[in-house]
Amino acid sequence: MTLCEPNKCTGCCACFNSCAQHAIEMRPLSSGALVPVIDENLCVECGRCERACPVLNPHVQPSQPYRCYAAWATDDKLLENAASSGVVSALGKHIIDCGGVVYGTRFENQRLVFAAAETVDGLLAFQGSRYVHAYVGDAYLQIEQHLKAGRKVLFTGTPCQVHGLRQFLRKDYDNLVAIDLVCHGVAPLSYLNEYLRDRGVDMDYDNVVFRGKKGMSLVVKRNNEVLYSKYKLNDLFYTAYLKGLISRENCYTCPYASLSRYGDITVGDFWGLKRTRQIADHPFISVMFTNTEKGNRLLADCGDKVRCVEQPLEMATKSNGQLNHPCPRHEGRDKFLALYTRHGLVKSIKKTSLYKTFLKTSLRYRALLFASKLKHLIYGK
C-alpha cells in the first residue's frame, strides 16, 4: 500500500485508525514529525488506509462560515484557566450536561494525547493553548463507537485532525459536532521535550500551555506548580515556533488555512476586534464561526452559557493571517533540518539566522521589563 508523502502528512492518524490488521504504526521522521509506517508483513492490501487519508482521497467537502461572532463563556469557572474566552469549554459542558462525551487534548506522561471527558473536571484538563502536535491514537475508533451507541460527541482539534476524523468515519453523524481551531501550525512534541530537558526543567511535568495568565508565555506545570515560565519574546522555543522554523513540514503548505472549514464550528483568537459597549468589559474574546446547521443548533442550545455578538466576517479575516494563508516557512528552515539530526534542537536553532534576531528581541524585552520594574520601584506605579 502507498501512503501520502511524509512531508504532506498531517499525522492525523486516520489511516492508523482504519487499519483492522494493526499494520500501521506512527513513527518519527528524522525531522521529529510523526508519520504512519506500514508493516508489510501484516498488511493485506485492503486499501482502507488509502481511502481514509485526507491527503490522498479527500472525499469530505468543507463548509463556509454562516455567521461570525465575538464570543466568550459566561461561567467564571470555565474562564479561570481558559486560553482565551472559554467558549470551547462552555460548548463541551453543554454536551456533557446532555449525557454526551467530549474529546480534546491533555498531557499524559509527557505526551500530548487526545482523551475523552465525561465530567466538567475532565473537561478542564483540556484547557490551554498547546502549539505542539497532539497524538490522536485510537480516538477516532472510540468516537465511532460512541456515535453508533447514540451518544452525543464533541470533538475539538486542528482542522487537519477534524478532517481526518470525518474522512475516517465516512458518514456525517447527526450526534457528532466538530470544532476546528484556527491554527498557526504545530511543532513536533519531541522538540518541546528536548527543549525543556536542555533548559533543566523537571520532566515530571503534567501540563504545558503557551498562553499563561500573563499572556503569550510558555508555562510548564506539575500539580499547578510552575516549573518554567517565559514570555514569548524571551523564550527561544516560542520564538522559533512563531517565526516558522520548527513546525511540521506540512504546516507550511497547509490547505486548511482558509475560510473553507471542516468543523461545524470554528474557534480562534479575535485579532483586530473593534470593541463596542457590548463587549468592552471582557478581556478575552474569541472569534467563532458557525459553519453548518449542526453548529448553529449547538450554539442555540447552549443558551446563556456562551455570549455572542455578531461581527462582520471581514473583520475576523483581515487581522488573522491563519484564515488567509499557512504560516510562513522561515528562511533558515532547511539549514535547521540539515543540522538537527547531528546537533539537536537548541544548537541547530542557534546556528540559523533566527538566533541573532531572537537575541536582539530578547535583550530589548528584558530592558523594557527592567525599566518598567524600576519605574514601579521609584514611583510606585
Q: Note whether 265 and 360 are same-domain residues.
A: no
Tens of pLDDT, residue by residue over 87-127, are: 999 999 999 999 999 999 999 999 999 999 999 999 999 98
Q: What percent of the chain has pLDDT over 90?
A: 81
Tell me: pLDDT of 247 over 60: yes
Tell me: pLDDT of 212 over 70: no
Q: Note whether 339 and 302 are same-domain residues.
A: no
Q: Note whether 341 and 257 are same-domain residues.
A: no
CB 220 within 8 A of CB 207: yes
The residue type of 195 is Y
Q: Note whether 260 and 357 are same-domain residues.
A: no
Within-domain flag for 36: no
Give the separation between CA 240 and CA 251, rounded to whole angstroms: 14
CB 336 within 8 A of CB 245: yes
Q: Note whether 220 and 317 are same-domain residues.
A: yes
Q: Note whether 102 and 126 are same-domain residues.
A: yes
Tell me: pLDDT of 306 over 90: yes
Span 152-162, average pLDDT: 97
Q: Note whether 300 and 374 are same-domain residues.
A: no
Tell me: pLDDT of 82 over 90: no
Give pLDDT, residue 2. 76
Domain boundary at 278, 295, 323, which? 323
Tell me: pLDDT of 167 over 80: yes
3-state secondary structure of 295: helix
Within-domain flag for 27: no
Span 16-31, average pLDDT: 96
Span 208-234, average pLDDT: 89
Domain that holds residue 78: 67-323
pLDDT band at 366 (very low <50, low <70, confident <90, very high): confident
Q: Note whether 338 and 233 are same-domain residues.
A: no
Give pLDDT, residue 373. 72
Beta bridge partners of 27: 35
CB 245 within 8 A of CB 349: yes
Q: Note whether 263 and 364 are same-domain residues.
A: no
pLDDT band at 213 (very low <50, low <70, confident <90, very high): low
Q: Note whether 172 and 255 are same-domain residues.
A: yes
Q: Note whether 363 and 271 are same-domain residues.
A: no
Copy the grid coordinates of residue 28: 518519527
Q: Which residue has the cell 504512519?
A: 36
Tell me: pLDDT of 214 over 70: no
Copy the grid coordinates of residue 120: 466538567
Q: For the chain, what is the mean pLDDT?
A: 92
Domain count, the chain: 2
Give the separation between CA 155 and CA 104, rounded to whole angstroms: 6
Give pLDDT, residue 354. 97
Within-domain flag for 25: no
CB 194 within 8 A of CB 203: no
Give the separation between CA 141 and CA 381, rounded to whole angstroms: 56
CB 57 within 8 A of CB 51: yes
Tell me: pLDDT of 277 over 90: no
Within-domain flag for 93: yes
Q: Note whether 157 and 183 are same-domain residues.
A: yes
Tell me: pLDDT of 280 over 70: no
Within-domain flag for 357: yes
Question: 97-111, 158-172, 209-223, 238-252: lowest mean pLDDT where?
Answer: 209-223
Beta bridge partners of 112: 107
